Chain A
Amino acid sequence: METTKISTDEVTYVANLARLIFAEEETERFASQLNAILRYMDTLQEVDTTGVEPMTHAIAQKNAFRTDAVGESLPVKTALANAPEARGNCFQVPKVIE
């Protein structure tokens, strides 16, 4: 029997983290596809990685800096030009309750 790597509950949990929402049958389809992919990932467990530094960058670089100089900002109109909703020089969203 094929092992279940990710349950539908976990799919729902992950979807919430990713701010996605799925219909029930979609959740099941995703769960089954993700399971197939994750089972494939299991091959990695064969590799002995003891003492191997994880690689984040393909080319080892360091210390890339900019100087502390103020450059040009966008005109506010341009900054807001792509916004679905903007008013009074601000982006607008449904009320956030803290």
Chain B
Amino acid sequence: MEYEPVIGLEVHAQLLTDAKIFCGCSTKFGAAPNSHTCPICLGMPGVLPVLNKKVVEFMMKMALATNCRLNRGCLFARKNYFYPDLPKGYQISQYAQPPAEHGWVEVEIAGGKKRIGITRIHMEEDAGKLMHDEFSPVSRVDLNRTGVPLIEIVSEPDIRGAEEAAAYLRRLHETLVYLEICDGNMEEGSFRCDANVSLRPKGSETFGTRAELKNMNSFRNVQRALEYEIKRQQYLLEGGGSVVQETRLWDDTAGVSHPMRGKEEAHDYRYFPDPDLVPVVIDDAWVEAVRQTLPELPLERRERFVRDYQIPAYDAGVLTASRQLADYYEEVVRLSAEPKLASNWVMGEILRFLNEDKKEIRACPITPAALAELISLIKEGQISGKMAKEVVDQMYRTGAAPGAIIKEKGLVQITDEAALSATIAAVIAANPGQLAQYRAGKEKVFGFFVGQVMKATQGKANPQLINDLLKKMLAG
């Protein structure tokens, strides 16, 4: 029998607010353990939560960017369970009446484009961190992350394979990062994904028993874990067995998943409305105000680049991979009016430098203005493409402007006809044999003369000018 995988993804994205969701502690990653805690996020007796307004606005941005309907009112609920990383014994989340529902995103798949539905987006608080000492019988609890704001984005079970899942995740990831509401760092856990996976006979409308997959901390891991899970379930079913409803942890090093042992009991979370928080009511004016702050989203921007700058879709895709990169590119275009050249230089040299150094575009020592200046110099023929590569290398290393580098290195192209004519005359005089061959019709020898002239000018001569003068003078 042929089986079809049915996958739904739950993405947790940490929001880039300065303060936590219900208190004033910093959200900054990497601080000393428990140094970003206060009575509120420690869940001390008597404390109360007050919602950080920016969390609502960030949630609204993502909801609008993913075509969700924003509900007028939403409630916070308590999800009750005991765990040492959960100080209050409950997580403040949203259950009944979520803020955003019925959205979708479009992803590109082998056969074209596909819409994947988003069931809901809601706000909640993150839990703390547990650290396990391998050789000691204890676990240590760091509550810095407790109360860092999250949005949970729940997809419809619309995904039909590992690759599709990866495409969907990339779309969410790029949108979150574009909106500047999440840094998207999967290793640090700012973007996390759990998956619900089941198989069903192809053509069937009902769902099979699903397994929940956790602990996949990169796009690659998600894809591998899903491929593994689909195969695992397929073997089980084909062997006449059945899938057990359980939570499984992906083990990246071993390349396998295994059932989770810790939270073994049935999920009876006893959700109920949190009496300490009041409803959030989002009116039209607020929605409009947030809509005004939305940047152009990656997909739209990609299409505009192809249309307006006449660059290939692939290039547009690379250039819009991050909002900063696309902004950088557009600034170079604005200053140089050379979209194609700008695209070549950004995608070529600039991205190569950054990749080698594992740097972000915002840390690039070459400003868009400097790159635009370089492009103008090339266009005006002041330097050759070859020289420009040398110059850009210097620009990246020193941060200096191209004009200054050219001057310092004496890289200015020889465009003086008289001076160049004298050099050419000397080259011709020094090679009478080749001259004879050329005049006898052996046109290949022309290349030899170009090389000699370049050598004599140390590559500084304008190649076009060399060509023109050589032709004239060789003809006698």
Contacts and interface: CB of A to CB of B under 8 A. Distances in A.
Q: Do chains A and B touch in the complex (CB under 8 A)?
A: yes
Given A72-B24, A98-B262, A93 B84 contact: yes
B141 interface: yes
Nearest to B139: A96
Interface string A65-83: 1111111111010011000
B24 A90 contact: no
Interface stretch (A25-33, A34-42, A55-63): A55-63
Contact of B137 (A71, A74, A95): A95
B187 interface: no
B25 A73 contact: yes
A61 B80 CA distance: 24
A92 B136 CA distance: 11
29 contacts: A16-B265, A17-B270, A57-B278, A61-B278, A66-B19, A66-B24, A66-B50, A66-B51, A68-B18, A68-B53, A70-B25, A71-B25, A71-B38, A73-B35, A73-B36, A76-B32, A76-B34, A76-B37, A79-B42, A80-B34, A88-B140, A89-B32, A89-B34, A92-B141, A93-B84, A93-B140, A94-B138, A98-B249, A98-B260
Interface string B37-56: 11100100000001111111
Nearest to B85: A96
Interface residues of B, number: 53
Interface of B: 17-19, 23-26, 32-39, 42, 50-56, 73, 75, 82-84, 130-132, 136-143, 249, 260-262, 265, 268, 270, 273, 275, 277-281
Contacts of A90: 33-34, 131, 140-142
Interface of A: 16-17, 19, 56-57, 61-74, 76, 79-80, 87-98
B249 A91 contact: no
Given A17-B268, A63-B278, A90-B33, A95 B24 contact: no
Contacts of A96: 83-84, 130, 132, 139, 262
A81 to B, nearest CB: 11
**Which of B36, B73, B140 lies at the interface centre, i.e. has the most chain A CB atoms within 10 A of its CB?**
B140
Given A65-B51, A96-B139, A97-B262, A19 B82 contact: yes
